[in-house]
Amino acid sequence: MLSAPAKKKSIRVAVVEDNDGIRANLEHLVGTSDAYCFLGSYRDAETALVEIPSCRPDVVLMDINLPGLDGVECVRQLKLKLPQVQFMMLTVYEDNNRLLKSLMAGASGYLLKRTSPEQLLAAIQEVYSGGAPMTPEMARRVVQHFHQPARSSAQMPKLTPREEEVLEQLAKGALYKEIEANLGISTGTLRSYIANVYEKLHVHSRTQAVVKYLNR
């Protein structure tokens, strides 16, 4: 009697981390979870830039302080090639400058390496679902940055009314499923609107789009 096929893991995850111990722990954590498919790990940005585009993960866990090219620049370059991939920074630094640079490069989340395994797994699901996981302290720093006077009075590009509604929902922190329910649209339609918004705003991530929206 043939056995039933194994359930396909839905979220494909890659890791970029130079510390052997931390990298091994992340490999084990993700690889032993039924909710995720572990694709591979890389100890430097240069290797990740070559290998990750071919394996096309859904989520990448990215260290900031890598040897050679740092994690922020690695995210910036990969996001240009893989705009649909979600990047979450893992770092020991509670640093405003690194936080904001990471988000502007295209990262969608920013967590400290001391985050518990349970919280980290939940954050992978959250960032994959359209969220922006970070600690309350980090989120407060982002809000404080947004509350600063805008440096430019440049007008927002012209968006359709529906695109503006989608962007407003993104700025409120709604997950993709919540936006679909709130606006009564399908997943495919939502992704089409988001792609149009990103193209018109000349951005590559949710965070970059929200920054432009809040500073309009």
- Predicted confidence at residue 4, as pLDDT, reads 41
- Predicted confidence at residue 9, as pLDDT, reads 53
pLDDT tens readout for residues 82-129: 988 999 999 887 767 778 888 888 898 888 888 899 999 999 999 998
Which domains does the chain show, CATH number per domain?
11-145 (3.40.50.2300), 150-214 (1.10.10.10)
- Predicted confidence at residue 6, as pLDDT, reads 45
For residues 59 and 86, the answer to whether their CB atoms sit within 8 Å is yes
Mean pLDDT of the chain: 84
For residues 92 and 135, the answer to whether their CB atoms sit within 8 Å is no
- Predicted confidence at residue 139, as pLDDT, reads 73
Structure tokens at 77: 């370059």
pLDDT tens readout for residues 159-186: 898 998 998 888 877 888 889 999 999 9
Check pLDDT > 80 for residue 148. no
What is d(CA 157, CA 203) in angstroms, rounded to the nearest whole number? 12
DSSP labels for 166-210?
Answer: HHHHHHTT--HHHHHHHHT--HHHHHHHHHHHHHHHT-SSHHHHH
Q: In this structure, what DSSP letter does residue 76 have?
A: H
- Predicted confidence at residue 1, as pLDDT, reads 39
